[in-house]
Amino acid sequence: MSVYPSAGPIFDTHAHYSSGAFNADRYDLMDSLPAKGVVGICEQATHSGDAPRCLELAHRYPWVYAAIGIHPESLLPADRCGDQPPAPTISVYGGDWAAEMRALAPYYDDPKVVAVGECGLDYHWPVPKDAQLALFEAEIRLALELDKPIVVHDREAHADVYALLKKYQPKGILHCYSGSAEDALWLVKQGIRVGLGGAATFRGAKRAAKVIDALPLDALLLETDCPYMAPEPVRGTRCDSSLIAYVGDYIAQRKGVAPEEVFARTAANARQVFGLD
């Protein structure tokens, strides 16, 4: 991987700039991104607590858009949140995610809200399984009703995520894809695009390499999940959208194409998924 990768046009389809990790320099950092090749960002809400901040960023920057949804980790019981306060799903709505969805409903009338998400299933953390399954199914149904793409979180939950995607066949994105190349192929045929970020560049990320080799560029999207998962060779630092340059460079090397082709194609894919063409 080159030390100074090519950059742009970068469309980061999954970011969390409303995270506290950016409190000290959020606007200065985001002001600097267009000069680094960033042409688009989809900021992800995880519950009703950060949804207003996501919309604030989307309205502040013409090239930022928002996805509004409830993350499965928002269902973590209050006594399992460690040193973090429980999400509004618990602290405000008492775990009544349906009430929180009703409270979020007006957001989808905003033209800067281009997707339902981040939502899905997470079996890594002790999130009540029945509740997160019911929530995810409700959010898929909402995305279909609104005719918006869904942004799917899938952590150690492939079988149940895939079962619901097969049942409803929504359009959207499987964020931070960690499944097999074989599964990626049928998911793409069904209308899902695969999001790849810094984790795809990690040493030992053999599954991601196979996915990149198996799928056409038309099926791929680039993302960060920032502030998390900075790519090699800057792994362990705070991530931001400009670092997608390393991911695009890695994909270009595997595909045997110019990095500019990867960035241009994936940015066009993002605009198509989010209905921005």
pLDDT tens string for the chain (277 positions)? 444 566 789 999 999 999 999 999 999 999 999 999 999 999 999 999 999 999 999 999 999 999 999 999 999 987 777 767 889 999 999 999 999 999 999 999 999 999 999 999 999 999 999 999 999 999 999 999 999 999 999 999 999 999 999 999 999 999 999 999 999 999 999 999 999 999 999 999 999 999 999 999 999 999 999 999 999 999 999 999 999 999 999 999 999 999 999 999 999 999 999 999 7
- The pLDDT score that the predictor gives to residue 1 is 47
Q: Which two tokens stand for residue 269?
A: 């894919």
What's the CATH number for 10-273?
3.20.20.140
Q: Which two tokens stand for residue 200?
A: 């795809």
C-alpha distance from residue 243 to each of 12, 40, 165, 229, 234 (Å): 10, 14, 30, 10, 9
- The pLDDT score that the predictor gives to residue 6 is 66
Q: How would you write 170-218 as a 3-class SS string?
A: CCEEECCCCCCHHHHHHHHHHCEEEEECHHHHCCCCHHHHHHHHHCCHH
- The pLDDT score that the predictor gives to residue 81 is 75
- The pLDDT score that the predictor gives to residue 4 is 53
Distance CA 277, CA 271 (A): 6
How far is C-alpha 186 from the chain's CA centre? 20
- The pLDDT score that the predictor gives to residue 79 is 75
CA-based nearest residue to 69, from 162, 161, 132: 132
- The pLDDT score that the predictor gives to residue 82 is 74
- The pLDDT score that the predictor gives to residue 7 is 76
Domain boundaries, the chain: 10-273
CA-based nearest residue to 27, from 15, 38, 18, 14: 18
Q: Which two tokens stand for residue 257?
A: 């194409």
Q: Is 199 in contact with 175 (CB distance < 8 Å)?
A: no
Q: Is 89 in contact with 78 (CB distance < 8 Å)?
A: no
CA dihedral 150, 153, 158, 162 (to 10 degrees): -10
